[in-house]
Structure 1
Amino acid sequence: MVRSWITALVLAAAVTDAVAVKPDLIVGNPRGLLGKRAPSPDVLTDKLAPLKTVTLPLSWKSSRHQKKILNRRQSTGNSTSGGITAISNPQQLAYVAEVTWGNQTFDMLLDTGSSDTWLLQEGFQCLSSNGSAVDQSNCPVGPLHSGNFTGGQMGNVNFHAAYGSAGVSGAFGFEDITIAGLTVPNAQVALVDQAYFTTNVSGLFGLAFSGLTSEYPGTDTSKDTSTNYINYETVFYKMVDEGLTLPTFSFAPQRNGSNGYLAFGGVPPVNTTGPTAAVPIITGRSQISVNQPFFYNISVDSIVFEGSKNSTMSAINTPFAAIVDSGTSNLDLPAAVANPLLLAYNPPATFGQAWGVYEVPCNATAPGVAITIGGVNFEISPADLIFQTLVDPITGLCVTGVQPSTEPYILGDSFMNNVLTTFDLGALQMRFTALA
């Protein structure tokens, strides 16, 4: 049965007083809330951000998570009225929304797999993959930020982050940041003056836990190590700290119309169907205390799939932990799970040497696939299992949405495109409901 957003609107009106943000619960110590609250109610909110089209380069892959985890383990043991921002993203390979810095507005990649918020600055030095300076034409990106931080630049610290093979560095400062109609005053953000970055956006809006922030002491990035990073209050943490929202946000991509939303403090006006799966965010896996997890890591029960040549259903009942990451397009799965799925394409997927990924003819038939979380099966659309916009120029084949991987495993946009996903930091819980 389809759950109507109209019904949710009535419910939201009825419980408005009950879910109003209470500053005494959050101001001054948002980190102290992690795992300390009951789950926030999934009521309709008008604090929405509309999504835009961008295709991530293949280099933007899960190796960025591995580097972050290893480093931190070593050191720790278009806007509309009513505050709505939409996600415009027909191909659903990445989620982008408009974000305003002071009085300048930019398209920024929304990334639940990293914490920092940054923009490329006018005159930034484009770098090659080996770190050498190259012409800026080698970094095809969006419009660049002009000027300085309106709240002033921070002294004697630097910003330095890696994303797969991409890397950026620059300076930290303070700026008023507006997204989804919410203005976060004097938030700590970064302006990038050196980058190896080839995505057609202006920067990145980080939504992961603050344990992944990339501030380092001094101004010499060559001295940045895995043990001297500095945690700081991210834009979303400060949004909660200022009493602007409950400690939750949700993604609801749509394939047509508005193309979906990022919502703060509740859920957007979309239709869902079937039961909701609520599962805890795993924190002990990375040897991190409950108050400082890194990624949105959850347990996957199993994978159910149907071969494209027959109607036989198969189940791979091998539980594994996976990061829910809006900044990764595909499903990075254990080889024991991914390989049977790749063989179930018609014709079966083959490994492309040039790009180092599995590929199929662009007119291939994808198998029926469902991911089981919290006892609920979530079907994956065939459109998310073959990337029609990622065509290998040598083979002419399309990249598959499923790829075998080593840990950490990733549930990227190929999964998130099919569900309403709620990130509840207060309860250290994630909730999923199938989109109608």
Structure 2
Amino acid sequence: MAKAKKVKVDPNIIDYYALYNLTRGADSKTLVSQLRKKQGEIKQMMSCSATGSETIMETLLEQDKLVTAAIKIFKNKEKLEEYNTQLDAAIASGTLNTEAQEAAQSALDEIERLFLKGNYNAVIKMCRSAINENGANAKLYNFLAQSYYMVDQGESALAAVDEFVKAYPKDAEALDMGVRYNILIHNDMEKAQDYLNRIHEFYTDSALASIDQIYIHLAQRNTEMAFKEIDDFVSANPADQDFRKNIAYDMIGFCSKLYACVEYEGDEIAFLTSDEDYQLCKAMADKAATVYHDPKVQGYVEYTNHMGEVEFNQDNKSNIRWTMFAAWIYGVAGVMALSSGVGPGSFIAILLAAACAYVTVMLHKVSKRPYWQIYKYELTGQREPKEKRYITIGNIIAGYMRWSVKLAFGMIRLIFSFI
């Protein structure tokens, strides 16, 4: 009788099924779709996290890291089978890592737990009740504004910020939220600058003043000024780790904001829409890594780098061969016509050969797609304009050459049928 294979138990394994309410036994595509929806929610929450919410941002980054790790496992059949085997062994041996799971599911208090679970309406209700009973509180207004923002009630979010500022007109966090939410909701740089001026008035030469000035530069996509401001402050205050951390997390938040969302098979999936957005995201992620070092920032940098990794579009290989063949055929025909003294014919053939060769080169170039572009196409069916243009031309040339070859062989068979 064969002995059962002993499974090595991973002491750090996490039960992703329990953590994300996934149905074990569901197909991989469904599971990954549910995980990507969760990832999209996390990235949206990261984009509206204020300076005074470092604990929330750290938790969101940790959740983003967890869900990304889960997606890598669940989209690969072999990895998923191995994970299921190890999970069963961990459960059977009682060594399942419940600490990581509990940490991901809990937060400082009930309101934060509800917020991180996405129960924003309950957070709004609880915050309103707590403010009415106990008065204004920075943390409560922070959660209240963010929750309004998450349920697309931008005006209510701004009203909550205004209430906070009215209750505490010199409060640093209230003024900070005034800067951020006016940019997030209306992209109102004038009002944001007004709040920043008040920060400068009450907190001259403070880290917060620099942080929010940088935030405005980032919102304007002026990375040159933003990075200069960062370098200047770090140079003058090299030991200020809080500044470094806040700025790094702000840039990650802006990276998250660059992601668009689309409904895919009933789920909201986040993706980048253009090379301009990717390059901006890449610049901010790289700068964040130079400013502050921790596993969460590094994980986000690695994810951004993955979005820039290139994979060749195998679907274009056939058309590349046909356009190359067309360039060769027209080139040979042009040389033969030229050697025979047929000037105009040789010129046209050589011109067609050059055009086909150019299409071949460009088709090969646009086939090297970064992952942000691949994900965009998979989710929306939209190609980049240059890619679409050369694929269309390649299809036309390839189709023409296929029919030409078929016609030529058909003529040859017809001729031989009479011999």
TM range (shorter): under 0.3
Q: Larger C-alpha radius of gyration, 1 or 2?
A: 2
Q: Which has the higher strand share?
A: 1
The TM-score, its normalising length taken from structure 2, stands at 0.24
Q: Which has the higher helix share?
A: 2
The TM-score, its normalising length taken from structure 1, stands at 0.23
